Amino acid sequence: MRFRNPEKRKTDFREVSLGLTQRQAVEEAGRCLQCKKPRCVAGCPVEIDIPQFISFVKEKDYPGGLKKIREFNMLPAICGRVCPQETQCQGKCILGKKSGPVSIGAIERFVADYAAASGQIELPDMKSPNSHKVAVIGSGPAGLTVAADLAKWGYDITVFEALHEPGGVLTYGIPEFRLPKKIIQREIEFVKNLGVKIRLNFLIGRTQTVEELFDEGYKAIFIGVGAGSPKFMGIPGENLNNVYFASEFLTRVNLMKAHKFPVYDTPVKKAKNVAVIGGGNVAMDSARTALRLGAERVFIVYRRTEKEMPSRHEEVENAKEEGIEFCFLSNPKEILGDEKGRVQALKCDRMALGEPDESGRRRPKRTGEDFILDVEQVIMAIGQTSNPILVRSIKRLKLWGEGYIKIDRDGRTNLKGIFAGGDISTGAATVISAMGAGKRAARAIDDFIMGKKGVSTRETGGGLSKG
């Protein structure tokens, strides 16, 4: 994969990775061994027929390759860019042990971008309309996948989205330099071309309730509202000025274009020295965004070591190349402020790794030493949790943990006609796992409405549906 020069790319928001050329894509496709029992397929949460789509690329039939991918995955240009391929499809590739795995994600991205650039985008086979209405709440990857699959099967789909732009985290969370907005718009346009309607600025639970949707004739409802509420550490100083929750910081820039203030009217603090707390994709995105806003030094503060970081490996490498500084085995214990209540420094414990915890990763423990980082901004990227607005508005809906919706394997909740999937049922996860949940829920909704086998076996608790 080709990348832009780090010194240049860290000064703007243009895409960092340039993708494969046509020649590289064909060469890379030629490395695929076309295994009889392909392990890569099992590694992909939506089970794309990877050897088949790659064989189309080998023959330079890119539209054929795209059509094959789209049988399983409606958003290939997005997944090709952001999937953690090293632990999914590519992590299982047999060539990984010898010469390195086939770059499946990069080929997927190439196929989607090539077809879009040459205008060769074909709609999939569609069933004739069946007039059954289904409401999808949330337009992130889970919601878009349910919507697209059901629309293909003839359903009348409306997606309700609280924000003024569709796409969920893809739009408001993942920065332009990793996932350009025009790519998301293109993929959403494709979903709309299947007949899906998207109603924006529509907060279900406030603008309208789930009961009212059933009263309007929706036969089933899918909840894919993600997990966008902030999590803080509970340390002194978190309420000082210039402490941000990562999603707020990223939303200000990605969605509200705060980096172009005052042309756009949302501001964001531009600091010289910034500490970002956390070790996942959200932390990496926040740090690299702060750098692009003009910070001189940006520190990632993470309590374990690089080996345990949950972020995609490629993004850690990109961040390092751009000059992000990593403070491993460091755990914040206080944010220090000045007399005006603004962040002045971050005090951290030095940590060491102990025995593995329930996640299998070695548990960090204090060494008794601490240190101070002089920073004027702190960004908390230690995870997100469920937003209570919608889930609390649905009586008798079964939840687990910090307010996540309890579902069975196929996305059925305990309430008749209500389905859920993605981050709101698993907690913060990945784009492709949300899409996998969307695919399973679409099949379950189809079964439910068409009265197919399996529907009557589930628990039906409150019985909201009029279907």
- Interacting residue ranges for ligand FAD, rule: CB under 6 A: 82-84, 137-143, 160-163, 168-169, 173-174, 203-205, 224-226, 228, 247, 250, 281-282, 285, 312, 387, 389-390, 422-424, 428-432, 434
79 binds ligand SF4 (CB under 6 A): yes
141 binds ligand SF4 (CB under 6 A): no
- End-to-end Cα distance, the chain: 50
Crossing angle of helices 104-117 and 22-30, in 10° steps, is: 140
Give the list of residues 6+ apart from residue 437 with CB closer than 8 angstroms, or none: 142, 224, 411, 421, 422, 425, 426
Q: Regarding beta strands 384-385 and 229-230, do their DSSP bridges make them parallel or antiparallel, or are they unpaired?
A: antiparallel
Q: Regarding beta strands 325-327 and 297-301, do their DSSP bridges make them parallel or antiparallel, or are they unpaired?
A: parallel
375 binds ligand SF4 (CB under 6 A): no
For 412, which DSSP code? B
Q: How many CB atoms lie within 10 A of CB 233?
A: 14
Q: Regarding beta strands 404-405 and 273-277, do their DSSP bridges make them parallel or antiparallel, or are they unpaired?
A: unpaired
C-alpha span between 133 and 123 (Å, rounded): 21
Q: Which option in ligand FAD, ligand SF4, none does residue 258 bind, with CB closer than 5 to 8 A by kind?
A: none
Q: Which option in ligand SF4, ligand FAD, none does residue 237 bind, with CB closer than 5 to 8 A by kind?
A: none
Residue 219 beta carbon to ligand FAD: minimum distance, rounded to whole angstroms: 19
Q: Which option in ligand FAD, ligand SF4, none does residue 346 bind, with CB closer than 5 to 8 A by kind?
A: none
Q: How many CB atoms lie within 10 A of CB 94?
A: 14
Residue 73 beta carbon to ligand SF4: minimum distance, rounded to whole angstroms: 5
Measured from the CB atom, the residue of 88 and 281 that comes closer to ligand SF4 is 88
Residue 69 beta carbon to ligand SF4: minimum distance, rounded to whole angstroms: 7
Cβ–Cβ under 8 Å, residues 14 and 177: yes
Residue 360 beta carbon to ligand FAD: minimum distance, rounded to whole angstroms: 20
Nearest to 109 by CA among 135, 81, 83, 82: 81
83 binds ligand SF4 (CB under 6 A): yes
Give the list of residues 6+ apart from residue 217 with CB closer than 8 angstroms, or none: 133, 466
Residue 169 beta carbon to ligand FAD: minimum distance, rounded to whole angstroms: 3
Piece in contact with ligand SF4 (CB under 6 A), picked from 82-90, 117-125, 284-292, 395-403:
82-90
Cβ–Cβ under 8 Å, residues 108 and 137: no
Residue 185 beta carbon to ligand FAD: minimum distance, rounded to whole angstroms: 14
Q: Which option in ligand SF4, ligand FAD, none does residue 88 bind, with CB closer than 5 to 8 A by kind?
A: ligand SF4
Q: Collapsing DSSP states into helix, strand and coil, what is residue 463?
A: coil
Distances (CA, A) of 122 to 7, 112, 126, 212, 233: 39, 11, 11, 36, 48
Q: Which option in ligand SF4, ligand FAD, none does residue 141 bind, with CB closer than 5 to 8 A by kind?
A: ligand FAD
Residue 114 beta carbon to ligand FAD: minimum distance, rounded to whole angstroms: 22
3 φ, ψ (degrees, to nearest 5): -125, 150
Nearest to 293 by CA among 279, 274, 278, 312: 274
> 425-464: which residues touch ligand SF4 (CB under 6 A)?
432
88 binds ligand SF4 (CB under 6 A): yes
Nearest to 151 by CA among 188, 114, 111: 188
Residue 248 beta carbon to ligand SF4: minimum distance, rounded to whole angstroms: 28
Measured from the CB atom, the residue of 87 and 460 that comes closer to ligand SF4 is 87
Q: Which option in ligand FAD, ligand SF4, none does residue 44 bind, with CB closer than 5 to 8 A by kind?
A: ligand SF4
Cβ–Cβ under 8 Å, residues 259 and 268: yes
Beta-sheet strands, E only, within 138-272: 156-160, 197-199, 218-223, 229-230, 243-245
Q: Which residues does residue 388 pair with via DSSP β-bridges, in sequence order?
A: none
Residue 88 beta carbon to ligand FAD: minimum distance, rounded to whole angstroms: 9
227 binds ligand SF4 (CB under 6 A): no
Q: Which option in ligand FAD, ligand SF4, none does residue 137 bind, with CB closer than 5 to 8 A by kind?
A: ligand FAD
Q: Which option in ligand FAD, ligand SF4, none does residue 138 bind, with CB closer than 5 to 8 A by kind?
A: ligand FAD
Measured from the CB atom, the residue of 93 and 150 that comes closer to ligand SF4 is 93
405 binds ligand SF4 (CB under 6 A): no
Residue with tokens 């997927």: 108
50 binds ligand SF4 (CB under 6 A): yes
Binding site for ligand SF4 (CB under 6 A): 44, 46, 48, 50, 73, 79-80, 83, 85, 88-89, 104-105, 108, 432
